[in-house]
Chains A and B, each alone.
Chain A
Amino acid sequence: MGNFLTWVVWLVAAAACLGTGLRVVTASNPFASALSLIGNLASLAVLYLLASGEFVAAAQVLVYAGAVMVMFLFVIAYLGGRADAPWAGGTRLIQVSAVVAAVSLLAVTLVAVGLEAGDQLSKEADVTRSFGSPAGIGELFLTDQLLAFEITSIVLLVAAIGGVVLGMRSRAEQEADRPRAAP
């Protein structure tokens, strides 16, 4: 029974994941795309849970869906009508080759994994209950993966600075904003 339930949950989550993914890519309304992405993130969180990645799943929902997507929605709201994204344009060639590229990428990936991994992918390791727990992740972050941890924090800092710089208004714009003194 448990196995059957797991399978059902997994299939629903996977279908939702792929479906919302498709929606993101094909929608004309940017709001629809953004909301689809939120759905995508949610279904991915479910999949993570099924793969014993509890902390990752939680972080996904909190950070990704909670913070990043909200940022996206803010910008889309700010842009208003200009954010509309119809499907027009691009040469036929580009379109066709894009599809071809994507499909080939898929094929190659599947074939690669299937061929190479073969047997190696069937034997999962046995894991304890603490697998995927915050404690375990934290321990790894502060011991073996300390470098990644630090570098990631620096990247975030730089991105924050970059965001500020990009958001700064130029001199001319500042002049234009200030109310002009009486001549």
Chain B
Amino acid sequence: MVFGGWLCLLAPLAGFLAITLAGTRISRNQAGVLSTASVFAGFAGAVIAFVDALGRSPDDRSELTTAWTWLTAGDFKAGVELLVDPLSLVMMLVVTGIGGLIVLYSNGYMAGEDEERRYFAYMAFFVFSMLLLVEAGNLLLLLVGWGLVGLASYLLIGFYHERPSAVLAAKKAFIMNALGDAVMALAFFLTIAKVGSLDFAPVFDAASSGALSDTVVTLIALGLLGGAVAKSAQIPLHTWLPDAMEGPTPVSALIHAATMVTAGVYLICRTHPVFEAAPDVQHLAALLGLATLLVAGVVALVQWDIKRVIAYSTMSQIGYMFLGAGVGAYGFAMFHLVTHAFFKALLFLTAGIVIHHLSGEQDIRKMGGLRRELPITHATFLIGTLALVAIPPFAGFWSKDAILASALASGGALGWVLYIGGLIGTFLTGLYALRLYFYVFRGEPRHAEHAAEDHGEAPPTMIVPALVLALGSTVVGFLAIPGVWEPFEDWLAPVVEPLVTPSATEEWLTSLVAVSFGTVGGYLAWRAFRAGREIVADGAVRRALEHKLWFDELYDALFSRPAQALAVRLRDDVEQPVVQRGLDEIAEGTLDASAVMGRAQSGLLRTYALTFAVSVSILTLVFLVVR
């Protein structure tokens, strides 16, 4: 198992290093092949580890191995440790499997772009960082992976670095992530101070055994939640995700749908003992998830950019995962993570095919009628949409409803609020997802004639991954049929014991209600499309939604403007007069002094001789006195 874990982690790293070091000596195609091969090699490693784990008894499936001790400071020790257990295996398989498919897709999508090698190197680097995050055996290494993933995100969002909007979006993403990183680091400092170690076992034992005071545990949990919220683009640190769509579409698929943004959910599940020891924070996580899923859902209704709709959809679905983790249904949250990875990546990839087909057009008002032009793409996109809306038998149905059922099962006022909210979210999902589908694929073609490239369907490198993901979106859901066969839950249970387990009845009942909500939403979308009008009518509400509820403006006023003003004030009042002038004065003073000294160099021989004579007199006197 450990071998598989190491292979999985190091193969993408090797790919990244190979591409970087080879530079321009390999062709662009070769770089793409190298990148794809390295990620799939990582997938092979994950599979090896998985198969090995399957062969063991459920209690024996965790292995922690240390490569070397990285850091020792007094009593504190942190090693380069890898943890391969069911939870990390799930993530490893998802990251390398779906990652491999997306990198394969990129070979077709990014063909002909400038600087392809850089792209493929960054993709391999990202996969490595994400694997480091999920395979980390202690919190310190996890933080390293966390940071590296943020870096990879920055590099890839800003891949089109000549575009100012892309550069700004990359900066925004990085800064918000850095905020989360800082909060998490603070939590780790507190952990080191109170627990003395960042290894999982000591920290979790300390948290669950009550050895730490309530305040301390709450603070640590809050720090972890802060990091998770930033990385997963939940309210209030969500504004970077829609802008991150500036990156190439495969990047959006891999980083901002399937893997990186789900790292927050993974974190909560991994550190669940800490959250369980601070129930208030856990409930806060659930509430933030609820808020995000609703806000994202309504804002998605007025978006015209195909990628932005899908981005808001991602935000919303992660809200579901946070909701699930917040009520303690870790297994279902992770399951939704897996199914979501499939169908969201699928949606992004097919959107990419559409964009590619229309030579870069991303406005859905200029699309339409692509059902006839891109039949395979249409079919896969439809599968993805249905999975998103949680229509049976597609994957989303099994996972999302399980979360809702858990919310119901957890009871209390909070449980009911979450449940109702989640159902409303399902309704919204149906609305915006079907709206998107209709605009893009149905109706009469609205795209300019010359925009469509006349090569019919996309090349195989792009279609095959889409097909594989479509298959996955159909089939993966069957890993959790309530009451009948729940291998996924059982697989994760030894590592993340869920707090609530809904009964089979609750689950089927919830599914029924949720599906109906979703279907109603879809139907309303169809009606609106047929009538040619928008779902959200013009007016104050629409304006609010178009401004994304003014979060960006709020942050701009609260943080960005004051920071800039402060910087300007500091420059004008401190830097310029004190530092700059000070340095100038020193320079001028030196010049003046040297000018004065320079007058001693009169050039006249006799002056020098005079100086000699005077010096000799003085020296004689000194000699006199001293002797």
Contacts and interface: CB of A to CB of B under 8 A. Distances in A.
Interface stretch (A57-65, A100-108, A161-169): A100-108
Which of A101, A102, A109, A115 has the largest number of chain B CB atoms within 10 A? A101
Contacts of A97: 610, 614
Contacts of A98: 606, 610, 613
Given A101-B617, A104-B617, A105-B616, A111 B610 contact: no
A144 B617 CA distance: 32
Contact of A108 (B610, B621, B627): B621
Interface string A102-125: 101100110110011000000000
Interface of A: 90, 94, 97-98, 101-102, 104-105, 108-109, 111-112, 115-116
7 contacts: A94-B604, A102-B613, A104-B617, A105-B616, A108-B621, A109-B620, A112-B624
B614 A101 contact: yes
Nearest to B620: A108
Contacts of B627: 116
B602 to A, nearest CB: 9
Which of B614, B616, B617 has the largest number of chain A CB atoms within 10 A? B617
A108 B617 contact: yes
A109 B616 CA distance: 10
Contact of A105 (B607, B617, B623): B617
A127 B485 CA distance: 131
Nearest to A94: B606
B606 to A, nearest CB: 6
A33 B621 CA distance: 32
B523 to A, nearest CB: 108
A112 B614 contact: no
A105 B613 contact: yes
A167 to B, nearest CB: 23
Nearest to B613: A101
A109 to B, nearest CB: 7
Given A94-B610, A108-B617, A115-B624, 5 more contacts: A98-B610, A98-B613, A101-B617, A105-B617, A108-B620
Contact of B607 (A94, A104, A108, A115): A94
A139 to B, nearest CB: 33
A150 to B, nearest CB: 29
A90 B606 contact: yes
Nearest to A103: B617
Nearest to A102: B613
Interface string B33-68: 000000000000000000000000000000000000
Nearest to B616: A105
Contacts of A104: 614, 617
Interface string B411-443: 000000000000000000000000000000000
Nearest to A107: B617
